[in-house]
Amino acid sequence: MRHNIRVPQFDTFSATRFAMRTMALVAVCLMVISATVKTAYSCPFCNAPQLTLAEQIAQSDAAVIAEWTKGTPPDFDAGTPGTTTYRIEKIIKSPDTNAVTIDQLIVLKEYYPGEAGQFSLIVGSQDLSVSTRLLEKRLKVGAFGLTPVEEPAQTPILIPVSFTTAPTEMNWLSPLDISKEGFEYVKNVPGPENDPQKRLRYYVNFLEAKDPLIADDAYAEFANAPYDTIAAVRESFPREKVRQWVFSEETSVTRLGLYGLLLGLCGDDSDRVQLKEKVVSNDEDFRLGIDGIMAGYLLLAGEEGLNVLEETKLKPSLKSPSPVPFSETFATLQSLKFLWEYAPGTVDKERLRSSMRILLQHPDLADLVIIDLARWEDWSLLPKLKEMYGSEPYDVPAIKRAIVGYLIACEKQRPEDPAAEVPQFVVSAGEYLAQLEETDPKTVKTARLLFR
């Protein structure tokens, strides 16, 4: 059982538990499209960034390891919520005042069942607004203790448990259960003020720690890290372990995208062969993390790997019925975008454009492909797009808007110097756009709002 942020014992929280489960299901669905909104500021194949333990400590005035000493259950007849008392065992961070001392008792205005010898991480701030903002961040971006767990009674709820306006007192947030190993981990975590590469070299050692709190926090540090920072510390990756993680059935599927990427950064030719075997399979309808594994394979295989993906994923996906699950085709699309945006020296840019153009014929992806190729400044598409506009199976609003967006992007390539020669693709795009303004003004108007 995974222990997370302590849960007050109130039966009235059933609605919140339902909401948390719903959010978890939505999160799984969003993983399919998360790479479309990822930026260079975070790991491209990780779950959405979370508020890590180091960040929570850095944004608080105080952080302590405290032992559960006693608790008073709520009295529903009297309308009292109950209390829980903790004794401060270790001070990780403290303000200059005497607001936090060893053996000090913290009384939280909620009941958390526990026993002597059970420790928790508790953070707080003297400024009520700081604690409130931290609580809002926990709720908004996620924090450890927000993941659903097996027992409904343990579903975590984040609430303000000890708020005060007194300038010398602490506003404590919900306690987070912590093991002996977690105790040592938290004491040594390098905070956000440290060198990013140094921090990742520390966290990589805990990615598959037995304590879920530690493993999840280390993963979140990678999820928050820019790709360039991850790539810069590739020499610190435990290659043998990373290989085991990628190919082990016991590895959480939500981590496979990151681990596939790590293996691509630190692996050798034998890893390339194994990754190829894993990538080319089309036996499963949906494989979480396969986009990161494809990206890792391409980092090792280069253009040869691109040829493999074309023959096993892209070209077969155009058949009807297709032997390639849509999720595999979409993952391949994401791996191409990864090479372009994050590892541009791996494969020649025109070679990448050529692979992407194959998916131009895929009616379920054509609009995305058109937009990406416009970003990639592929100005060779106009003849094909004129054939597609309004014809089946591409006669859908999203594709037509994307085509108009492409024409607008072409027009933006017009030289600023009036005396300069205007490229023919710019002239042709302008002429076709003027034609569409006459024949399909609604689509053009909408597209102009979307593609400014």
| Element spanning 212, H or E | helix 212-224
What pTM does this model have?
0.81
Q: What is the mean pLDDT of the chain?
A: 85
119-125 vs 176-178, strand pairing mode: antiparallel
pLDDT, residue 344, reads 94
Which band of pLDDT confidence, cut at 50, 70 and 90, is reported for residue 261? very high
Residue 177 has pLDDT above 50, yes or no: yes
pLDDT, residue 275, reads 98
Residue 160 has pLDDT above 80, yes or no: no
Which band of pLDDT confidence, cut at 50, 70 and 90, is reported for residue 239? very high
Residue 1 has pLDDT above 70, yes or no: no
pLDDT, residue 34, reads 41
Q: In angstroms, rounded to a whole number, what is the distance separating the alpha carbons of residues 303 and 178?
A: 47
Contact 406, 386 (CB under 8 A): no
pLDDT, residue 403, reads 98
Q: From residue 426, how far is each of 100, 368, 420 by CA, in Å? A: 67, 21, 13
Read off φ and ψ for residue 38, nearest 5 degrees.
-70, 150
What pLDDT digit, counting tens, does each position of 80-120 carry?
Answer: 889 999 999 999 999 876 779 999 999 998 899 999 999 99
pLDDT, residue 162, reads 55
Beta bridge partners of 75: 80
What pLDDT digit, counting tens, does each position of 329-350 carry?
Answer: 999 999 999 999 999 999 999 9
pLDDT, residue 452, reads 81
Highest mean pLDDT among 127-131, 187-191, 274-278: 274-278
Question: In this prediction, what percent of the chain has a pLDDT beyond 70?
Answer: 82
Q: In angstroms, rounded to a whole number, what is the distance separating the alpha carbons of residues 251 and 245?
A: 6
Which has more pLDDT, 30 or 92? 92
Which band of pLDDT confidence, cut at 50, 70 and 90, is reported for residue 125? confident
Closest-CA residue to 107 (of 72, 57, 61): 72
Poorest-confidence range of 169-173, 367-371, 410-414?
Answer: 169-173
List all residues 6 or more positions away from 341 whose beta carbon is below 8 Å from its beta carbon: 40, 44
Domains of the chain by residue range: 11-186, 237-362, 363-452
pLDDT, residue 130, reads 57
Which band of pLDDT confidence, cut at 50, 70 and 90, is reported for residue 40? very low
Q: In angstroms, rounded to a whole number, what is the distance separating the alpha carbons of residues 180 and 186?
A: 10
Question: In this prediction, what percent of the chain has a pLDDT beyond 90?
Answer: 72
What is the mean pLDDT of the segment spanning 175-195?
A: 92
3-state secondary structure of 162: strand
Q: In angstroms, rounded to a whole number, what is the distance separating the alpha carbons of residues 326 and 306?
A: 18
What is the mean pLDDT of the segment spanning 2-8?
A: 41
Return the residue matching tokens 């709520």. 74
What pLDDT digit, counting tens, does each position of 361-389 carry?
Answer: 999 999 999 999 999 999 999 999 999 99
